[in-house]
């Protein structure tokens, strides 16, 4: 039996990290927010390890601190990133980025995706203005001039604004008739956690080798998150490989650079597809997170851009409410779209270009990579600009650890 229609200021479809962050930001401004999530309560409250480590910038940490989520992440789960290195093939001249002379001791912080999800959920449950609905399937969204109506598996929800935060293949985006650029890199990413003999010294390494791309991301203790990009059939073989065979192949693939390694987590695979929505808004509708921009993970900016996007949206929605009492006013949504497009379009195009250059193994591409790394490492203004982008310290963060 369906419940009667409920009323909320903002309905958020998708209770992932960006959806929950949006709910926290808007509730903090005094709005009522309802989050509709397909997952059951148990999986939402205690998400399982999914292999993904998120490199949080200084600005992202500040957002998580301000919305109350950071305090729910255990200190032992937060790993500071001291240095980032980019290498190619057997060319032993890495491009390095560090914090020297910047007055801080970390480029950013690495936290498992499931820890971030759990922390945001815990923060959201403590907010009286947020209603969390689990196990919900959205059926239709009707966007009328004066309100939006969400029909779902448990009833109907009326809202001034609907926010689509339901992933890069967003059903909300599709229902609104918004298309998207989808860039298929024809590769799959395997992620898992490996313990190893040699210390990582809090250094992240991105290594573009012939036939593969490898990232080693430090986590606390003698362990790293391994990210391996290969054709889909190779990844499938590795997912099914016996543990000892897997360990031996991973050591061989990374040249035994961290000594003996062993798998200490489950293995997970993700097809690599970049997504950029043709529009980020429609009548009484806004898209955030991967529903708006789904980045290739090569620059580790996907979640950070998602947090920045919801921050921009929240600011404009608050302006809407202050001006007219209407959270879904078109003028504010247009400003959000313009600002978020300006922040994301160059990064999306640049990231796709880098991914294409660094995943082709022909001689011209190898030579370009080697020359590019050498020149980039010697050009201090470039390194400073990239380091600033990686850290994103436009707003000084509170102490993060």
Domain residue limits, the chain: 6-81+108-182+275-360
Q: For 330-337, which contacts have Cβ atoms below 8 Å and span 24 or more sequence positions? A: 330/283, 333/281, 333/285, 333/286, 334/281, 336/280, 336/281, 336/286, 336/312, 337/279, 337/280, 337/281, 337/286
Residue 357 above 70 pLDDT?
A: no
Q: What is the per-residue pLDDT across 233-247, written as a single tens digit (0 to 9) for each? A: 999 999 999 999 999
Measured at the alpha carbon of residue 167, what is the angle toward residues 319 and 277, in degrees to the nearest 5? 65
Give dist(CA 249, CA 364) in Å, integer.
Answer: 28
Kind of pairing between the strands at 6-13 and 155-164: parallel
Amino acid 295: pLDDT: 81
Distance (Å) of CA 26 to CA 22, 143, 313: 6, 20, 9
Return d(Cα 206, Cα 212) in angstroms, integer. Answer: 11
Report pLDDT for 395. 47
In angstroms, the CA 120 to CA 71 distance is: 10
pLDDT level of residue 384 (50, 70, 90 thresholds): low
State the DSSP string of 35-80: EE-SS-HHHHHSPPP-S-EEEE-HHHHHHHHHTT-GGGS-GGG-EE
- Which of 63-72, 176-185, 281-290 comes out lowest in average pLDDT? 176-185
The top-level CATH class assigned to 6-81+108-182+275-360 is alpha beta
Q: What is the rounded CA–CA span in Å between residue 154 and residue 164?
A: 18
Does position 183 have pLDDT exceeding 70, yes or no?
Answer: yes
Interior CA angle at 193 toward 192 and 194, to 5°? 120
Select from 15, 247, 280, 233 the least CA-distant residue to 122: 15
pLDDT of 262 > 90? The answer is yes
Q: Tell me if residue 30 falls in helix, strand or coil.
A: coil
Task: Evaluate if residue 97 carries a pLDDT over 80.
Answer: no
pTM of the model: 0.89
């Amino acid at each position: 039996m369906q419940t009667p229609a409920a009323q909320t200021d903002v309905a958020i479809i998708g209770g992932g990290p960006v959806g929950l962050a949006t709910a926290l930001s808007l509730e903090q401004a005094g709005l009522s927010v309802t989050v509709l999530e397909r997952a059951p309560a148990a999986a939402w409250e205690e998400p399982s390890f999914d292999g993904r480590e998120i490199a949080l910038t200084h600005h992202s940490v500040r957002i998580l601190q301000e919305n109350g989520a950071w305090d729910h992440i255990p200190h032992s789960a937060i790993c500071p990133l001291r240095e980032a290195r980019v290498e190619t093939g057997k060319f032993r001249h890495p491009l390095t980025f560090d914090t020297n002379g910047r007055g801080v001791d970390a480029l950013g912080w690495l936290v498992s995706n499931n820890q971030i999800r759990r922390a945001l959920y815990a923060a959201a449950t403590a907010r009286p203005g947020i209603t969390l609905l689990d196990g919900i399937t959205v059926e239709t969204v009707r966007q009328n001039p004066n309100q939006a109506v969400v029909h779902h598996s448990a009833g109907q929800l009326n809202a001034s604004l609907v926010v689509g935060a339901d992933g890069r293949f967003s059903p909300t985006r599709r229902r609104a008739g918004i298309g998207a650029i989808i860039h298929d890199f024809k590769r799959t990413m395997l992620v898992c956690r490996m313990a190893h003999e040699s210390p990582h010294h809090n250094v992240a390494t991105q290594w573009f080798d012939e036939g593969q791309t490898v990232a080693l991301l430090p986590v606390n203790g003698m362990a790293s998150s391994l990210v391996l990009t290969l054709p889909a059939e190779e990844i499938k073989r590795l997912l099914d490989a016996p543990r000892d065979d897997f360990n031996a192949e991973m050591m061989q693939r990374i040249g035994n650079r961290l000594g003996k390694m062993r798998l200490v987590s489950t293995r997970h695979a993700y097809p690599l597809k970049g997504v950029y929505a043709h529009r980020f808004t429609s009548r009484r509708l806004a898209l955030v997170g991967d529903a708006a921009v789904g980045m290739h993970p090569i620059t580790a900016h996907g979640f950070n851009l998602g947090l920045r996007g919801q921050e921009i949206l929240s600011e404009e929605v608050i302006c809407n409410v202050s001006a007219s009492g209407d959270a879904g006013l078109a003028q504010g949504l247009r400003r959000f779209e313009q600002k978020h497009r300006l922040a994301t379009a160059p990064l999306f195009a640049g990231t796709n270009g880098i991914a294409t250059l660094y995943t082709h193994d022909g001689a011209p591409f190898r030579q370009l990579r080697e020359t590019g790394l050498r020149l980039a490492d010697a050009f201090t203004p470039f390194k400073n600009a990239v380091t600033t982008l990686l850290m994103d310290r436009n707003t000084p963060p509170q102490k993060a650890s």
